[in-house]
Structures are given as C-alpha cells and as structure tokens.
Amino acid sequence: IIQNANACIFNYKGNHMHNDYFKLTLPRAKKFLDSVEIKKFKDVMPLTAKYFKTKDHLKFSQIKDFPLTPIAKGETWGQTWDSAWFLMQADLSNIKVTSELLAKIDFNGEAIVFSPDGVHHQGLTNGSVFAHQAGRSVFAIPPHWIKNGKLEFWVEASASSLFGVSR
C-alpha cells in the first residue's frame, strides 16, 4: 500500500484466511509508514493542548469564556458524537523558521482548524467508514500565526468520522 499516492483504491474479497492476514498486517504497515513519515520532517516540535467539551454548536466568539483542561497525546477527550474545542500551542522560539511549517493532528474524528482570531483555515478527518485511507491530518501553518516565537491556534473537533462513525 502506497500512502503518498493521490488516490488509493483497495478492493479485496478473498477467502477468510487472507482477510485475517490483512487485519494483522495493515495496522503494522500503517505504524511503520507513520514512523517513516515523521522522519521526513526537519524539526518536529510538540504541540500542547487544552480543551473543553460541549454538546452545543458554538461560534468562535463564544469559546473564550469556557475553562480549559490540559490534555496529553493519547488521552480520551470524548465519546462518539461529542464535540470539543482545543487550544493548540507550541513554543517555536528555539528554532529558526526557514521553510513552510506543517502541523499533523489526528483527533480521531473530524475537525476544523481556526486561526488565532477565529478564521476557518482547514478541515481535518481521520478517515471514513468507506475508506480509512481517506484521512487528512496535515495542514500548513501560516507564518503570521507565530507571534514572538509562540504558535497558537484553535481546533473544533467531533468524535465522528467522515460520513459517520465506524462500527
């Protein structure tokens, strides 16, 4: 499976033994490809995140009043169909920004990235019920988002996938 292709069509209807093979092999291959992908970046800087959950759809102008809770990579932030707002931050003062900056974020659902002042920037998704390879988790960071060596932006996320929830 080639991850860097613009499109990938995979349709296999073999016998049960082959299906079990793919269930075991594909997660291993994805883990390997993810580790290779990270190595192609020059500098990798961690993002910190704080968040709050909500059942209501909120406008960006409404989110500043909610208390934020820190959350670490890998922690659960919600159940199926929950929504949350995340304040993402990074200290970039120790690196010299000489090329395009990219962020890779996977909230295990759909999300939309907002600029620090609330402008829609990019949609993200971890995949769909039809094709898990259809995810989008990398986006360009505009240079004007960095102020005094600090990066800050917001993400609204939903614990669902593109076209629904996988079962």
pLDDT tens digits, residue range 17-57? 456 666 667 677 667 666 555 556 666 778 899 999 988 88
Low-confidence ranges of the chain (pLDDT < 70): 1-24, 26, 29-30, 32-43, 98-99, 127-135, 161-167
Q: pTM higher than 0.75 for the full model?
A: no
Contact 103, 38 (CB under 8 A): no
Angle at 94 between CA 119 and CA 108, to 5 degrees: 45
Helix, strand and coil in the chain, % to nearest 5:
20, 30, 45
Contact 129, 166 (CB under 8 A): yes
Q: Is 63 helix (H, G, I), strand (E, B) or coil?
A: helix
pLDDT given at position 127: 64
pLDDT given at position 159: 79
